[in-house]
Amino acid sequence: MFFHRKELQYHAKPDAPDPVFAKQVQELIGGQFGEMSVALQYLFQSWNTRGNEKYRDLLMDTGTQEIGHIEMLATLVARLLEGAPVYEQEKAAADPVVGAIMGGMNPQHAIVHGLGASPKDSNGVPWNAGYIVASGNLLADFRANVNAESQGRLQVARLYSMTDDRGVKDLFSFLIARDTMHQNQWLAAIKEMEAKEGVIVPSTVPPEWEATEFSHTLYTNSDSTASQLDFLKHPAPDGQAFKVEESKAMGGIPELKPAPPEAHNTLPGEND
């Protein structure tokens, strides 16, 4: 059960309207690494957690906070559209500057959403549930969470550099800080879980399932510099030694049998 408070989690007050920047902010809402993705990723991970109540609650608490981030960004988009002459087509046509600005905005903000945000990215592509990761393995999921928060923080930092609006920067400063916290919490949780389960996911695979002679070998090409990486000189995180070998074919040349007549494939050549 969820409860909503009317107050925003943090301020979302731009100094001036900017319909073009409103379009860019959409990436932080409905993009692959936007707040919709992380909110639902954490909530589904929480709902799928079995027998780990502390981690379940951590995920639920964080996912609920991310819903608040969506609300803040949606409010920011709406306010960036307030006062902009998005419906004044004649004025836009007469003024090249205004026309250029209106030409760079998302027309759906005016036509479809009535000067409001939408669950889409900055190109107008609808948000996709395929963006989220919820595998049931918490170590695997927390690693995905670090990636999501890293990409999200990167995008907010880039947008921070693309505006001079102090109100927008104020909100972005808050979001950057929260992404710092979330990266730290997932990294700390990963470290805690690795101490219990090991670093390789899943830790429950029986040894006889794995062809261990291939488990710690880096295969490179003759012109690759990857073999010079310093970490290869030390044991792998799971304690085994790395090896470096040039790539080689180990599987032979594949031979496929002709398809049955019902497939209507091209007939085999005379030399086949």
141 is in an annotated binding site: no
Q: Residue 50's CB: how many other CB atoms inside 10 A?
A: 8
Is 194 among the annotated ligand-binding positions?
Answer: no
User: Residue 216's CB: how many other CB atoms inside 10 A?
Assistant: 15
66 assigned binding-site residue: yes
> Annotation-wise, does 61 bind a ligand?
yes
Residue 227 is assigned to a ligand binding site: no
To the question of whether residue 109 is assigned a binding role by annotation, the answer is no
Is 11 annotated as ligand-binding?
no
Instruction: Please check if 182 is assigned to a binding site.
Output: yes
Q: Which residues are annotated as a binding site for Ca(2+)?
A: 57, 61, 222
Annotation: binding site? 35, 57, 61, 66, 69, 149, 182, 222
User: Annotated binding site for Mn(2+): which residue ranges?
Assistant: 35, 66, 69, 149, 182
